Structure 1
Amino acid sequence: MKVAIIGLGYRLGYLGHVFDQMDPDFRITGYYDPAPAGLATLTEHGIDPGTVWDSPEALVKAGGYDLLMIGSPNHLHLDHIRLGLEAGNKIFSEKPIVSSIAQTYQLAKLIAEHGPDRLLVGLVLRYAPLYRDLIAARDDGLLGKIVSVEAAEHIYPYHGAFFMRDWRRYEKWSGSFMLEKCCHDLDLYNGLIGARPERVASFGGRKTFVPENDPRHDGVNDLSLFHRKPTGWNGSDRVFDGDGDIIDYQVAIVEYANGVGLNFHTNLNAPDQFRRFAVFGTRGQAEGDFIRAQFKVTDVLSEAVSIDKTYQATALSQHYGADETMAAEVVAHVMHAGPLPVSPLDALEAGILALSMDDARRSRQVVDLRPIWDRYDAALTKRGAVA
């Protein structure tokens, strides 16, 4: 498979390596990026990045590829997706595919015009073996009717510090931390629950990465922990006194249209990080942790454990065995029309939930999503596309 890249950041540099491992015919024809942080990863693995273009338009006009891959900063995704759709390309966009509710409506109109089938999304956790086992347990009736879900994604302090230093520290570019980082998780639980979220309340802010918590106040001058993960475009060295506006902790509660309740918690300062869930149904309970690589299902009546599984890590994957599966299935889809487990509409719906959580956090009010869904659905129709 031949690809062209707009936005050769760390993620697409790494995915270039993964795709190269999964597809013997993989080749990059060229890229556009004024600050290609991911170039070193390609070079390290002997992958030719192809022609360097001076604009996205020039790269797309040159053609000669099967898939246009977009890894630019979030606020630019919409423009780059539009460019590819109007050129007739098949497109893979990293998540989140848009950075605001307004952009959500605009992309919905583009999908109404061009259809959803030419836009693929990098919601990689849909490909994780643990998640696929969770969905199978649901479909096999082991859980009964889902009643409520408890979920969390917490990250190491060095990773949290990365967000405080990277371009993602500004909501104008990232959308928000909840959107940028946690849209993966929200998409998983939207897919599990099988309904749209209707009402959201949320609270959060920044309490860790603030000046008073700078370790130097306590005589600790070695801050290498907080600089372990390098930044790319528009990065900063400031961790505790930075100028970003993202949160470093947030909690949210969600009610879905089918009555299921979800609570979600994220924190950027977890020295023993985890990414886990507990799903409570009328017939069973499912617990899992992507980082600890464990999954268990327990029956309500017998209290017997029907599934107790541990997953083996792979050297290639950054996402619990999901990256290489995604690469293989994307190649199969592009070259042979194989199926995919996630769509751009799933990505937009996860984004709406994330952004609504942030609206609720800012306003300290319960946000009713139904007016958003009404406008979104109108945009997805041909009438909405031309309005």
Structure 2
Amino acid sequence: MKSYAVCGISNRAIGMFIKPLVTQYEQYGRLVGMLDADPRRFAVSKERLPQIKDVPTYSAEAFDQMVQETRPDVIIVASRDNTHIDYILKALEHDIDVITEKPMVTTAEDAVRAIEAEKASKGKIIVTFNYRYSPFHRKIKEMILDGKIGRVTSVDLNWYIDTYHGASYFKRWNRMREFSGGLSVHKSTHHFDLVQWWTDQRPVEAFAYGALNYYGPDGEHNPSKRNGRHCETCSEQNVCPYYTRWTTRTNRTSVLDDHIQGDQAAGSAYTGYRADQCIFDDEIEIEDTYTAVMKYDKGAMLSYSINFSLPYEGYRLAINGTKGRIETTEFHELSRVPFEVPEQTVDYFPLFGAKEQINVVQNDGGHGGGDPLLIEDIFLGIDPHRGYEILAGSEAGAYSIAAGEAIWKSASSGKPIQIKELLKPVSVQPN
């Protein structure tokens, strides 16, 4: 039985890792320690899960003490993105395995530091790319491995984030590039990892455009240019369409979302943290719209776009190869789509032949059914009956981050960015 310590007692940490560990997987592992900068988070987690009332807790500066006293086999990192590197390096210094939420870190430089630290350690890094585990994404991977489309030549991926989910990033710490790396890192790393995993190719060059079109002080739906407002107490709630889309004057709509917990609305559960900051504040400068092209090391090309303020959520994907084409379209969370949508299928078009439509067997769980299967691989070990690699390591994490950073830097400079230049080796500095 392995022992686990968690760094960062976020809602994600509680729901994704701690709760399954102390309920469904208690015979396979045990929680021995929790670390966070905010003591209130320990109280909240123990109120939700009485099973962990006696688990020792530690301040953010007490990592070494936690390791010495609890002797964990694995460190789970689910803290704010920019702090991942600190806990990864500390864990590897102690030869302890690391399971980290994506993005692994927020900069390509830190990604290299993590890889070099891993090489010098007995510990290994796992990055929780749960999108790989979606039944549709696994089916696409299996079709490519079976040679259905031959050698992959190009990928078209357009990702859509609706006004509820999209606005949430600009209400929280994610809106600060120093904390999240920007959304091309925090969010798009999911997508770049999928392309890398599907194609078994690594990005080498990127060119992109990016803009802040919807949020920030110049957003055209901003009721007035004032800083410091919060959705819960704002006097302009009823003239803000991002608020009124989901909330009437007398009733808060219950919105289903596997990315955002309901109790995050005002952020009142935690000390000094609010998740309802105004999406039109002056400090917002990260982009909410990207379009990009990327070249890969085995010849594939990616055409990518993402928009964080759209009427519905989902994506459109096409993967082309020398023998055919795969297509799929997803409309995420049907309860939030204000029109009827078709059931998602995976469509296969051979280069010379008839179209095949595949109805994929699905499973329940967050992120399209990916979360439960990922957790099984983490706490039970990799499924021995799966005939391909799916659990991501540090290299996959690093390339996805470098791709996201390249998108931002290209959009800022107007120049193509070489991925290898971002992933140059650096010296690992003592933490």
Deviation for aligned residue 1:21: 5.1
Contact residue 148 and residue 324 of structure 2 kept, 8 A: yes
Counterpart for residue 53 of structure 1? 58
The structure-2 alpha-carbon separation of the partners of 1:81 and 1:309, relative to structure 1 and needing over 3 Å to count, comes to same
3-state SS, counterpart of residue 213 of structure 1: coil
Deviations 1:46-74 (A, max 9, x none): 44262221233322222243321111111
Residue 112 of structure 1 pairs with residue 152 of structure 2: no
Counterpart for residue 183 of structure 2? 177
Please report the TM-score for the alignment, with normalisation by the length of structure 2: 0.78
Aligned length: 374
3-state SS, counterpart of residue 152 of structure 1: strand
3-state SS, counterpart of residue 130 of structure 1: helix
The 5 Å alignment of 1:1-387 reads: 1-15=2-16, 16-20=18-22, 22-25=24-27, 26-35=29-38, 40=44, 43-44=47-48, 46-48=50-52, 50-54=55-59, 55-114=62-121, 118-211=124-217, 212-214=219-221, 216=223, 220=239, 223=243, 225=246, 229=260, 230=264, 231=267, 234-235=273-274, 237-289=277-329, 291=332, 293-305=344-356, 307-314=357-364, 317-333=365-381, 341-373=391-423, 375-376=424-425
Of stretches 224-233 and 189-198 in structure 1, the one that deviates more from structure 2 is 224-233
Aligned amino acid, residue 366 of structure 2: Q
Contact residue 135 and residue 362 of structure 2 kept, 8 A: no
Deviations 1:221-248 (A, max 9, x none): 5726499752566445211225132211
The unaligned stretches of length 5 or more in structure 2 are 225-235, 333-342
Deviations 1:20-60 (A, max 9, x none): 45414243222111236586466435442622212333222
Of stretches 207-216 and 98-107 in structure 1, the one that deviates more from structure 2 is 207-216
Aligned amino acid, residue 143 of structure 1: I
How many Å separate the matches in 1 of 2:295 and 2:374? 30
The structure-2 alpha-carbon separation of the partners of 1:385 and 1:84, relative to structure 1 and needing over 3 Å to count, comes to closer
The unaligned stretches of length 5 or more in structure 1 are none
How many Å separate the matches in 2 of 1:10 and 1:156? 21
How many Å separate the matches in 2 of 1:278 and 1:334? 29
How many Å separate the matches in 2 of 1:294 and 1:207? 32
Aligned amino acid, residue 346 of structure 2: F
Structure with the higher helix share, 1 or 2 = 1
Deviation for aligned residue 1:372: 3.6
Q: Please report the RMSD computed on the Cα atoms of aligned residues, expressed in angstroms.
A: 2.9
Of stretches 106-115 and 258-267 in structure 1, the one that deviates more from structure 2 is 106-115
Deviation for aligned residue 1:128: 2.1
Deviations 1:321-367 (A, max 9, x none): 1111111111123999x975321111111111111111111101111
3-state SS, counterpart of residue 141 of structure 1: coil
The structure-2 alpha-carbon separation of the partners of 1:310 and 1:46, relative to structure 1 and needing over 3 Å to count, comes to farther
Deviations 1:268-324 (A, max 9, x none): 11221113311011212112245364322222211231x41244351xx22111111
The structure-2 alpha-carbon separation of the partners of 1:5 and 1:141, relative to structure 1 and needing over 3 Å to count, comes to same
Of stretches 290-299 and 257-266 in structure 1, the one that deviates more from structure 2 is 290-299
Deviations 1:100-121 (A, max 9, x none): 1221221222122126x62111
Deviations 1:173-199 (A, max 9, x none): 111111111111101101222222122
Aligned amino acid, residue 359 of structure 1: K
Aligned amino acid, residue 2 of structure 1: S
Contact residue 329 and residue 340 of structure 1 kept, 8 A: no
How many Å separate the matches in 2 of 1:299 and 1:210? 46
Counterpart for residue 228 of structure 2? none
